[in-house]
Amino acid sequence: MQDKQSERDARGVRIDRVGVKGLRYPIVVRDLARKIQNTVATIAMSVDLPHHFKGTHMSRFVEVMNEHGGIVHVENIPDIVRDMRQRLDAEHAHIRIDFPYFIQKKAPVTRSPGMMDYGATFIASTRNGEMDFVLGVSVPVTTLCPCSKAISVRGAHNQRGLVQLEVRSTVTIWIEELIDLVEKSASCELYSLLKRKDEKHVTERAYDNPVFVEDLVRNVAVRLRKDRRITWYHVDAENFESIHNHSAFAVVESAPWPPRKKKALRRKLKRASA
């Protein structure tokens, strides 16, 4: 049959990314306990397209996912991206996998179990033969306003916040590790099940740990800086204000990746010139 995608195009315009997105796909993800978790991902896959090709073969993206059996973890994502690049005869390939991730959490006082859902993201790209991988999490938290606490005779306003964190690392970082880091940076973490004793505890905990949205991103950044596995991070926090009809947000990003390699190179050059 005629292959229209492989026909030549005379307009001379190279396409940076072309592919599929919004692909819903069942996947299996490893969790911290080395067990597996079944979930459903929303996937975007793309490659570059040289100026002389009319189109790309969209079906091959889905074929690549099928060939990997729906098993997705940090170790095999580079294989998926390389297969995309080879199957579509491309120089660069990119994949983004967004999925809900569930953790069983016990209430802080009664220890009643409940399932908390978080957002998780795998982003992988290959360019000029080098692989880049970013792990992301989306973590809901509670924040209590320090200003409101300082000026109010009774109570202080609080709200739910959402922290979106992306990191690059030298070794595997577990999703649970990033979630825990973010939750410890907020006024209080969230739970799916709370009895009255638990509700009293989280209300008072938030009151004892007030943070602005600025404090929230700084707290996350400070904890990330202490982890020598992290080479780059991007923190985006949004507070859904309870006394305003708008949100407050703050963003912190580390130096361009990989900062430590650059520092090591500068030290090496300094020693060589000494």
Domains held by the chain: number: 2
What pLDDT is attached to residue 50?
72
Do 153 and 253 fall within a single domain?
A: yes
- C-alpha distances out from residue 149 to 13, 144, 207, Å: 58, 8, 8
Closest CA to 122 of 9, 39, 19: 39
Tokens 């410890």 sit on residue: 184
Note whether residue 86 is domain-resident. Answer: yes
- What is the length of the chain? 274
Rounded Cα–Cα distance for residues 184 and 133 (Å): 25
What pLDDT is attached to residue 7?
61
What pLDDT is attached to residue 264?
56
Do 136 and 242 fall within a single domain?
A: yes
Note whether residue 3 is domain-resident. Answer: no
CB burial class (10 A; 0-12, 13-18, 19+) of residue 45? buried
CB burial class (10 A; 0-12, 13-18, 19+) of residue 38? exposed
Count, in order, helices (H) and strands (E) of the chain: 7, 9
Per-residue confidence at 110, pLDDT binned at 50, 70, 90?
Answer: very high
User: Can you tell me whether residue 167 is helix, strand or coil?
Assistant: strand
Question: For the chain, how far is it from start to end, CA to CA, in angstroms?
Answer: 68
CB burial class (10 A; 0-12, 13-18, 19+) of residue 44? middle
Between strands 230-240 and 93-106, the pairing is unpaired
Of 106, 130, 161, the last residue of a domain is: 106
Closest CA to 137 of 118, 117, 123: 118
Per-residue confidence at 56, pLDDT binned at 50, 70, 90?
Answer: confident
Do 166 and 65 fall within a single domain?
A: no
What's the CATH number where 258 sits? 3.10.270.10
Do 125 and 176 fall within a single domain?
A: yes
Note whether residue 2 is domain-resident. Answer: no
pTM of the predicted protein model: 0.85
Do 89 and 161 fall within a single domain?
A: no
DSSP code of 106? E
Note whether residue 217 is domain-resident. Answer: yes
Backbone region of residue 124 per phi and psi (left: phi > 0; alpha: psi in -120 to 50; beta: other values): beta
Report the share of the chain in percent with pLDDT over 70. Answer: 86
pLDDT over 90 (residue 214): yes
pLDDT digit string (tens) for 219-262? Answer: 999 999 999 999 999 999 999 999 999 999 999 999 765 545 55
Provide the 10 A C-beta neighbour count for residue 156. Answer: 17
Do 99 and 131 fall within a single domain?
A: no
Note whether residue 149 is domain-resident. Answer: yes
Mean pLDDT, rounded, for 79-83 = 90
Domain that holds residue 268: 119-274
Tokens 């991730």 sit on residue: 101
Q: Which helix (H) or strand (E) holds 59?
A: helix 59-67
Do 135 and 94 fall within a single domain?
A: no
Closest CA to 39 of 117, 149, 125, 138: 117
pLDDT over 70 (residue 34): no
